[in-house]
Structures are given as structure tokens and as C-alpha cells.
């Protein structure tokens, strides 16, 4: 870490092309001038026409942007992926076991492996979930694990995202666009398909339906509505799965059961893939001012008459303060060593530690414990003096609200920018489905920081996406 | 799985708003042409005002503007978000409804509408004057045609289709009735059977607003006559914007819903009554009872169809 050149996904240090990228490199060489420029503008037109847009919070109402799509794919070799997916599977199994334990006997707390206070006084802990038996014992059915790579064999998990991870529609549409733009490239590389994600999602949701639901359960995708930044994804997934896309007012609870209001009257709902936060799910149980949720939903859930995906209260397992303990969690429940690294993470509550953090802040990343989307974050090496001073004040005022990590040298991947093809930093979010079995879609969403040198890949802050290929043997 | 009541509602209004955008473009075109040819002092402004009355946006206009000159009116009818029926507002509302039911409409329908919206957003209102205005109005009509084409060519013939068709024809019936009502007095029978220049100008306006000035000749093989014009737009079943055509289409559409759902409801009765108003009657009978009264009742019955439909199928 520090000044050394980051690992490049495509090129070795001596400039030669890494094995998985051979066919791509050759293809790029063969492209006539301007071909990539044309592809880039075609891609933009494809996305805008399909309405694959996202709303940026804080900008004018109705402003919709297209997430920039980069035409150069990110490629992962088959054996690289096998290692990664093993590590991911281990992690998501352990985290679900952890959630079951936390909302039942709390053995891990009794064993003193995690401080009780960290869990029980955490705002992400959901006491209403205590003792509840979710279908198949699964709490987090849909997980998007954020992973960065810093070397040929070195991966770190940044975040686990067990609440309502988004972005999977971009994974699917990026592939669709790439196949339209460069069909010949797919003939030269054996790329593992991602297209069955919606089918697998449907199977996962079916598998966790309540006992009485029958062989073809009624599935609803619950969205906050068209002004939500991820609305496109909600409608896309509902469409692809043949599920009903509902807003809160479309659903109601009667006699402990959930129904949707259809043109011919009430129809029972068995599984709700909800894309609204815990707090807004049910004004009777959680935030009383919520207009997005369904009154009585939580009671229906407790009664086992409907399955909520993901379960409320999963946030306790991806909390940034709990994150530090994930290797511990894996060992405790599975008796295995973690296959994927955690980023070393420090808190600032101790005054000595704080002094060290302040001395080294220009080399560190500071994150708000409950922040997301790249907001409320300081990246030391690219920050200004004023920003660093501001964060010192913030940390001083509320030390428990921040965690600190070393700045990782995120790998780079060749990216088509104004100046031509240049390396840009990337991360990776594979999507995992957990129901009757664990299903991991090969690849995932690669986010790329389009600004030179930037480490922030979030689409709200100038990040783009790339199609992500896992090669088959 | 049955369709959500809200989805049915969105489909109904999606089609209504696209149809309304088209009708607003027609009305503005007529108002604009009339204002150009008016030779009287203040005549241009009067034409524009009566056009806005027909569109039921005159009150909102008067709140914002003192004088009705062509540019102000054109801007108000095309681009003003405060005017709930401006082309801008209609397209915005149509697209919002479409976004809410992305899963219930086809990709072709979405792309047609979304593409139109994106193009429309690129237009700078300042640049739209004179000949450019007519070009733009033509474009609005075409986008409506294109959307309807995408709909008819791709949508499943299920309940969703029925709700969108209902919206389309309820809006069109409303529009034709309002255009007629705006100028009903120039259509009344008079002792002198041949209209003066002014009458002919007004009749042209009415026919143009319904895109009927050419097809009129095909049906009547005659010069413009008040009686024929009223007959054409009210009682002619082959005229796709006439009241009888729309009323029949609405009844048929709702009947298909009752067949699909196995249940007749209040909206079916309402639609059937509205159709009966225009079926088996003559212009003589209508004139005898009063054209204005007839149109007022028709508009009220048409509104009643929407109300009943909303109740019968759980719009909310």
C-alpha cells in the first residue's frame, strides 16, 4: 500500500498481458480507430432508451442519469472465481448462522467472542426479531458482497451488504448491452452466463414461502415507488421473475394475512421481496410515520403467514462495527478459517488510537459507521487539508460513529475514457442467493472509478460499471 | 395472478394522457391557424381564448396572463407545467404512469413513450415559434400515433389492454364533445341554410380539431354544412373520433372485461347508457332537445363511466 503501482487486472508489471485477457487484448488491437468511441455512444443510447436510469439524491426532482457503462469488460479466470466463490459461500453461511444465533440463544455473546454491548445496543439490532423462526432458518436471502482485489491472489471484503443490496439489474443489462455491442468477442471467450439470475431469484423466493403457500407462491416485490433511485431495478426484477410489483398501498393485512388489491379484489401474498428499509416496513411496528410500508405486516410475518426477504434485522450482520468480527464469526459457527480477508479496521474511541489516527489520517480511510453510497467518507490520500481537519473534528465529537481503515490499493482495469484506454480502479460486487441452496452468479457487478486516481466507485459519485466475465474452463 | 387495481388505473390514465397530448396539439393548431387568419381587431385573441375554453384551461391561463397572444398561448399549451393539460404535463404524466407499470406494458410501448419524452425534453421553448410550432404540433400527433401503434402491435389482449383502451376512448369522447360544445351555436340550424364566411371558418376549425376536414368530404360529398358537421362528429359510426364511435368502443371494451372477470358491474351499465344516448337517434331529435344540453349530458355520462370503472376495479 502507499506509492506502489496497484495491481492491474489485465497487465503484468512488465506490461505483458495476463492470461485471462489474451483474447480481449487481441480483439482490442484489431478494432479500427473510433470503434470504441462508437460503441460507447451506442451503449449510452441503449441504456437511455431502455430507461435504465437512476435518480441522484439532492439533484432536481425528475433528474435521471444513466450510469456510465464502460465497454471494456473485466475478466476473471475460472480458478480465480472458484476461490472467490468458495470464500463468499463460507461468509454468507456464517453470517446467516450468526443472525440465527443473535435472534435466539446468543451463544456467541455468552461465549464472549463479541462484546454484548456492540450487538444489543446497536441500532441495527432488531429486538422484534427475537425468537422468530424464519423459513429454512434463512435471514439474509440476497446478499451483495463488496470485494476489492489488491494482488494476484489477494482479495479483501469491504462490506457484506445484507439489507437490500442493489445493482443486480446493471449486472444483467451490462451483459445484454455487451452482447449487442461486441457479439464477436463472445465467440472468442467462453463466458459463464449471468442471465439465469432472475430465474434463480424466483427459485430462492419460492423455496422460502410459508408452508401453506402451495407449489406456485404469490410473490410481490415491494418498492418505495417510482421516485426511488433503484426503481428501475425493482420493476426490472419483478418483470423478469413474473412477480407483482407493489407499493405499500397495494398491500394490506387482514386477519394476520397479507393481500394485494387487485382488479377483482384481494389476493393472498406469500413472499415479499421488499426493497424498502426495515424502519419503513410497518408503521405499527417500526416508524409510525412511514407511508411506504404496510400496517400489520410485521405481525403477519411473525405469525408465519408471509416471508419477508431479506428478514428485518439483518443489518446487525453487516454493521461496520460488527464487520471487524466476521473472521471470528466464521470460526465460531463453521470452525473454519476465513477464506477471504477482512480489511484491518480500527475504531477511534480510545484516545491513544485516536491520536495515531489523526497523525496518519492522510493515509487512511475514515467511514461513518452507518454511512453508505460513498457518502460520509474520507479517503486520506486524495483528500484536502480542510476535509481532513473537518473529519478530525467530527471524530473528536463522536468517536464511536467512525471506523478507520488503511487505504487499499484497489486493482485497476483498462477503461475507455476521453484520453483513450487507461487504467482505472475497480471493485466487485458478486450477488448471492440463499434459500434451499446457495446460488452465486458467476461474476457480479464491477464498478469503476472513472476519474483518474479516484478510489470512489459509487455511481452517485462519478462511478461507472463494466460487464464482468467469469471464464469457463 | 390478477392485476393490481393501481396497475389498471395507471394503464387507463397512461392512455388518457397520451390521447390528451394529441388532442391538445390539435386544439392548439386550430387556435393558431384561426388566429393567423382573423382579420378583426382582437379576433386572434378571441379564437385563442375559445380554444382554451374547449380545453378547459382558460381559467388557469387567465390567472397567469393578461393577454392571449399567439406566443404566450402556444407556450402555455405546450410547455407550461402549471397547465395540467399542457403537452408537457400530459407527456410527463403519461411517462410517470408508464414507469409505475413498467411490468404491465411492453418494451416497445415504453421505448416509444420514453423516446418521445427524451426528444421533447431537448426542445427549447424559446425556439418554438411560427412554422416551427406547426412542425412540433405535427410531431406531437405523430408520437401519439406511434405509441398507439406500439400498443396495438405488442400488448397482450388481456385486462391490461382493456383498461388502456377504455382510457383512450373516454378521453377522446370527452375531447370531441368539448370541441363541439365550444362552438355548438354555430352548428345550430338557422333559417339561412348556407353559412357565411365566418361560419365556414368556424366549421373548418371544428373539423380540423377532430382531424376530420378531409374525411368529411369522403362521407358527405358536399360542401361544409352545419347539420352534416354535427352529424359527422356525433352520429357517424365510421368516424373514429365521433361520439358514437367512442361510446361503442368503450362499451365493447368494458364488455370484454366483464367476460374476462365473469362479472358485470356498475360501469357496464353506465357505458351502456352512454352508448344508448347516441344510438338510434337523429340530429333532428338532438337539435330539438338542445345540442348544448345533449353534449353536457354526454360529458357527464362519460365522467360517470370513469367513476364507476374506478370503483368496479379498485382504482385508488
Test mutation, A48, A51, A229, A236, chain B, max B CBs within 10 A = A51
Neighbours of A327 (CB within 10 A): 17
Neighbours of A83 (CB within 10 A): 14
Strand order in the sheet with A251-254: A251-254, A257-262, A265-268
Kindly state whether A127 is in contact with chain B, defined as any CB-CB distance less than 8 angstroms.
no
H helices of A139-196, where? 168-181, 183-188
Per-residue b/e over A100-122, b at no fewer than 16 CB within 10 Å? bbbbeeeebbeeeebeeebbeeb
- Is the distance from CB of A417 to CB of A133 less than 8 angstroms? no
Tell me whether residues A235 and B103 touch, CB distance under 8 A.
Answer: yes
Test mutation, A235, A245, A263, A275, chain B, max B CBs within 10 A = A263
Neighbours of B11 (CB within 10 A): 28
What lies within 8 Å, CB to CB, of B44 at 6+ separation is B34, B35, B36, B38, B69, B70
Distance between CA A139 and CA A254 in Å, rounded?
25
- pLDDT value at position B129? 79
Distance between CA B146 and CA B150 in Å, rounded?
6
Distance between CA B210 and CA B215 in Å, rounded?
10
Kindly state whether B102 is in contact with chain A, defined as any CB-CB distance less than 8 angstroms.
yes
Q: Where do the structural domains in chain A lie, given as residue ranges?
A: 19-210+306-341+408-470, 344-406
Q: Which residues 148-177 of chain B have a CB within 8 Å of chain A?
A: 159
Tell me whether residues A226 and B110 touch, CB distance under 8 A.
Answer: no
- Polymer length in residues for chain A: 473
- Is the distance from CB of B162 to CB of B253 less than 8 angstroms? yes
Chain A nearest-CA distance from B291, in A, is: 37
Tell me whether residues A267 and B2 touch, CB distance under 8 A.
Answer: yes
Distance between CA B137 and CA B126 in Å, rounded?
15
Nearest CA in chain A to B309: A263
Distance between CA A206 and CA A242 in Å, rounded?
12
- Polymer length in residues for chain B: 316
- Is the distance from CB of A445 to CB of A73 less than 8 angstroms? no
- pLDDT value at position A60? 43
Tell me whether residues A48 and B118 touch, CB distance under 8 A.
Answer: yes
Kindly state whether A45 is in contact with chain B, defined as any CB-CB distance less than 8 angstroms.
no
- pLDDT value at position A405? 92
Residue that is written with C-alpha cell 463494466 in the block: A466
Q: Cell triple for residue B149?
A: 401503434
Q: Which residues 37-96 of chain B have a CB within 8 Å of chain A?
A: 96
**Strands (DSSP E) along A237-318, which ranges?**
244-246, 251-254, 257-262, 265-268, 271-274, 307-309
- pLDDT value at position A204? 97
Nearest CA in chain A to B110: A50
Nearest CA in chain A to B1: A218
Q: Which residues of chain B make contact with A51, given a CB cutoff of 8 A?
A: 99, 102, 110, 114
- Is the distance from CB of B14 to CB of B101 less than 8 angstroms? yes
Nearest CA in chain A to B313: A263
Tell me whether residues B314 and A261 touch, CB distance under 8 A.
Answer: yes
Which SS3 state, helix, strand or coil, does residue B200 take? helix
Kindly write down the DSSP assignment for every residue of B231-293, as one continuous string: HHHHT-TTSTTSHHHHHHHHHHHHHHHHHHHT---HHHHHHHHHHHHHTT--HHHHHHH-HHH
Q: Which residues of chain B make contact with A226, given a CB cutoff of 8 A?
A: 96, 99-100
Test mutation, B6, B9, B97, chain A, max A CBs within 10 A = B6
Q: Which residues of chain A make contact with B99, given a CB cutoff of 8 A?
A: 51, 226, 231, 235
Q: What is the ipTM of this complex?
A: 0.82
Tell me whether residues B1 and A267 touch, CB distance under 8 A.
Answer: yes
Choose among A198, A160, A192: nearest CA to A345: A160
A44-83 confidence digits (pLDDT tens): 888 877 666 655 444 443 456 778 899 999 999 999 999 9
Residue that is written with C-alpha cell 352548428 in the block: B187
Residues of chain A under the 70 pLDDT cut: 1-4, 50-64, 371-375
Tell me whether residues A264 and B261 touch, CB distance under 8 A.
Answer: yes
Nearest CA in chain B to A251: B4
- Is the distance from CB of A344 to CB of A310 less than 8 angstroms? no
- pLDDT value at position A59? 41
Tell me whether residues B99 and A249 touch, CB distance under 8 A.
Answer: no
H helices of A31-65, where? 35-50
Q: Which residues of chain A make contact with B115, given a CB cutoff of 8 A?
A: 49
Residues of chain B under the 50 pLDDT cut: none
- pLDDT value at position A80? 95
A91-114 confidence digits (pLDDT tens): 999 999 999 999 999 999 999 999
Kindly state whether A351 is in contact with chain B, defined as any CB-CB distance less than 8 angstroms.
no
- pLDDT value at position A352? 86
Q: Which residues of chain B make contact with A248, given a CB cutoff of 8 A?
A: none
Residue B271 CA, chain-centre distance (Å), reads 18
How far is it between the farthest Cα atoms of chain A?
69
Q: Which candidate from A226, A235, A263 shows the least CB-CB separation from B5?
A: A263
Chain A nearest-CA distance from B101, in A, is: 8
Backbone dihedral angles phi then psi of residue A18, each to the nearest 5 degrees: -70, 150
Q: Where do the structural domains in chain B lie, given as residue ranges?
A: 4-8+12-155, 157-316
Tell me the CATH number of domain A344-406, given options 2.60.120.560, 3.10.20.600, 3.30.1490.270, 3.90.1200.10: 3.30.1490.270
Residue that is written with C-alpha cell 407462491 in the block: A217
Give the CA radius of gyration of chain A.
23
B251-268 confidence digits (pLDDT tens): 999 999 999 999 999 999
pTM equals: 0.86
Neighbours of B289 (CB within 10 A): 12
- Is the distance from CB of A308 to CB of A282 less than 8 angstroms? no
- pLDDT value at position A372? 61
Residue B26 CA, chain-centre distance (Å), reads 9
Tell me whether residues B6 and A239 touch, CB distance under 8 A.
Answer: no
Strands A154-159 and A341-342: parallel
Kindly state whether B121 is in contact with chain A, defined as any CB-CB distance less than 8 angstroms.
no
Amino acid at each position: 500500500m502507499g506509492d506502489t503501482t496497484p495491481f492491474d487486472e489485465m497487465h503484468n508489471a512488465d506490461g505483458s498481458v495476463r492470461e485471462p485477457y489474451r483474447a480481449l487484448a487481441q480483439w482490442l488491437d484489431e478494432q479500427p480507430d473510433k470503434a470504441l468511441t462508437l460503441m460507447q455512444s451506442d451503449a449510452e443510447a441503449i441504456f437511455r432508451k431502455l430507461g435504465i436510469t437512476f435518480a441522484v439524491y439532492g439533484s432536481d426532482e425528475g433528474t435521471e442519469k444513466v450510469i456510465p457503462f464502460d465497454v471494456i469488460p473485466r475478466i476473471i479466470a475460472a480458478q480465480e472465481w472458484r476461490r472467490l466463490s468458495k470464500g463468499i459461500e463460507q461468509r454468507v453461511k456464517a453470517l446467516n448462522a450468526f443472525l440465527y444465533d443473535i435472534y435466539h440463544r446468543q451463544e456467541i455473546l455468552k461465549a464472549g467472542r463479541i462484546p454484548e454491548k456492540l450487538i444489543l445496543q446497536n441500532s441495527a439490532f432488531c429486538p422484534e426479531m427475537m425468537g422468530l423462526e424464519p423459513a429454512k432458518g434463512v435471514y439474509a436471502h440476497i446478499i451483495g458482497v463488496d470485494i476489492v482485489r489488491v494482488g494476484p491472489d489477494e482479495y479483501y471484503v469491504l462490506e457484506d451488504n445484507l439489507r437490500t443490496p442493489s445493482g443486480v439489474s446493471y449486472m444483467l443489462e451490462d451483459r445484454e448491452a455487451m452482447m449487442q455491442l461486441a457479439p464477436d468477442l463472445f465467440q472468442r471467450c467462453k463466458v459463464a452466463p449471468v442471465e439465469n439470475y432472475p430465474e434463480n431469484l424466483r427459485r430462492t423466493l419460492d423455496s422460502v414461502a410459508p408452508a401453506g403457500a402451495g407449489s406456485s407462491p404469490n410473490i410481490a416485490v415491494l418498492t418505495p415507488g417510482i421516485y426511488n433511485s433503484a426503481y428501475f431495478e425493482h420493476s426490472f426484477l419483478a418483470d423478469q421473475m413474473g412477480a407483482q410489483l407493489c407499493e405499500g398501498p397495494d398491500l394490506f393485512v387482514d386477519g394476520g394475512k397479507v393481500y394485494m388489491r387487485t382488479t377483482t379484489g384481494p389476493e393472498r401474498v406469500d413472499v415479499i421481496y421488499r426493497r424498502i428499509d426495515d424502519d419503513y416496513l410497518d408503521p405499527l411496528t417500526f416508524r409510525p410515520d412511514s407511508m411506504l410500508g404496510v400496517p400489520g405486516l410485521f405481525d403477519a410475518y411473525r405469525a408465519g403467514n408471509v416471508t419477508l426477504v431479506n428478514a428485518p434485522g439483518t443489518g446487525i450482520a453487516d454493521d461496520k462495527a460488527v464487520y471487524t468480527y466476521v473472521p471470528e464469526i466464521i470460526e465460531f459457527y463453521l470452525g473454519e478459517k476465513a477464506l477471504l480477508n477482512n480489511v484491518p479496521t480500527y475504531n477511534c474511541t480510545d484516545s491513544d488510537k485516536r491520536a495515531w489516527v489523526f497523525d496518519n489520517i492522510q493515509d487512511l480511510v475514515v467511514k461513518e459507521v452507518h454511512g453508505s453510497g460513498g457518502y460520509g467518507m474520507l479517503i486520506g490520500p486524495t483528500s484536502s487539508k480542510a476535509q481532513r481537519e473537518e473529519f478530525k473534528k467530527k471524530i473528536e465529537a463522536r468517536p464511536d460513529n467512525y471506523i478507520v481503515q488503511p487505504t487499499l490499493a484497489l486493482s485497476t482495469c483498462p477503461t475507455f475514457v476521453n484520453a483513450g484506454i487507461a487504467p482505472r480502479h475497480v471493485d466487485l460486487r458478486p450477488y448471492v442467493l440463499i434459500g434451499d441452496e446457495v446460488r452465486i452468479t458467476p461474476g457480479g457487478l464491477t464498478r469503476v472509478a472513472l476519474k483518474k486516481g479516484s478510489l470512489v466507485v459509487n455511481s452517485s459519485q462519478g462511478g461507472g460499471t463494466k460487464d464482468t466475465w467469469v471464464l469457463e474452463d | 395472478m390478477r392485476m393490481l387495481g393501481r396497475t389498471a388505473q395507471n394503464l387507463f390514465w397512461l392512455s388518457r394522457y397520451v390521447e390528451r397530448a394529441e388532442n391538445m396539439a390539435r386544439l392548439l393548431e386550430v387556435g393558431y391557424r384561426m388566429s393567423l387568419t382573423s382579420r378583426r381587431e382582437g379576433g386572434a385573441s378571441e379564437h385563442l381564448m375559445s380554444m382554451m375554453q374547449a380545453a378547459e384551461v382558460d381559467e388557469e391561463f387567465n390567472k397567469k396572463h393578461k393577454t392571449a397572444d399567439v406566443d404566450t398561448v402556444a407556450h402555455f399549451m405546450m410547455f407550461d407545467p402549471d397547465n395540467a393539460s399542457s403537452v408537457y404535463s400530459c407527456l410527463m404524466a403519461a411517462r410517470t404512469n408508464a414507469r409505475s407499470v413498467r411490468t404491465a406494458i411492453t418494451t416497445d410501448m415504453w421505448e416509444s413513450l420514453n423516446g418521445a419524452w427524451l426528444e421533447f425534453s431537448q426542445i427549447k421553448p424559446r425556439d418554438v415559434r411560427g412554422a416551427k410550432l406547426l412542425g412540433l404540433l405535427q410531431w406531437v400527433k405523430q408520437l401519439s400515433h406511434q405509441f398507439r401503434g406500439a400498443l396495438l402491435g405488442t400488448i397482450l389482449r388481456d385486462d391490461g389492454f382493456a383498461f388502456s383502451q377504455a382510457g383512450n376512448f373516454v378521453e377522446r369522447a370527452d375531447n370531441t364533445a368539448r370541441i363541439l360544445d365550444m362552438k355548438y351555436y354555430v352548428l345550430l340550424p338557422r333559417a339561412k341554410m348556407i353559412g357565411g364566411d365566418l361560419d365556414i371558418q368556424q366549421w373548418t376549425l371544428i373539423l380540423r380539431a377532430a382531424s376530420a376536414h378531409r374525411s368529411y368530404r369522403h362521407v358527405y360529398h358536399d360542401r361544409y354544412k352545419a347539420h352534416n358537421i354535427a352529424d359527422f362528429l356525433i352520429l357517424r359510426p365510421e368516424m373514429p373520433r365521433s361520439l358514437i364511435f367512442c361510446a361503442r368502443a368503450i362499451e365493447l371494451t368494458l364488455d370484454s372485461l366483464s367476460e374476462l372477470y365473469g362479472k358485470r358491474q356498475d360501469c357496464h351499465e353506465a357505458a351502456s347508457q352512454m352508448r344508448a344516448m347516441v344510438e338510434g337517434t337523429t340530429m333532428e331529435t338532438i337539435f330539438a332537445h338542445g345540442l348544448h344540453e345533449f353534449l353536457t349530458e354526454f360529458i357527464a355520462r362519460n365522467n360517470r363511466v370513469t367513476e364507476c370503472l374506478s370503483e368496479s376495479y379498485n382504482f385508488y
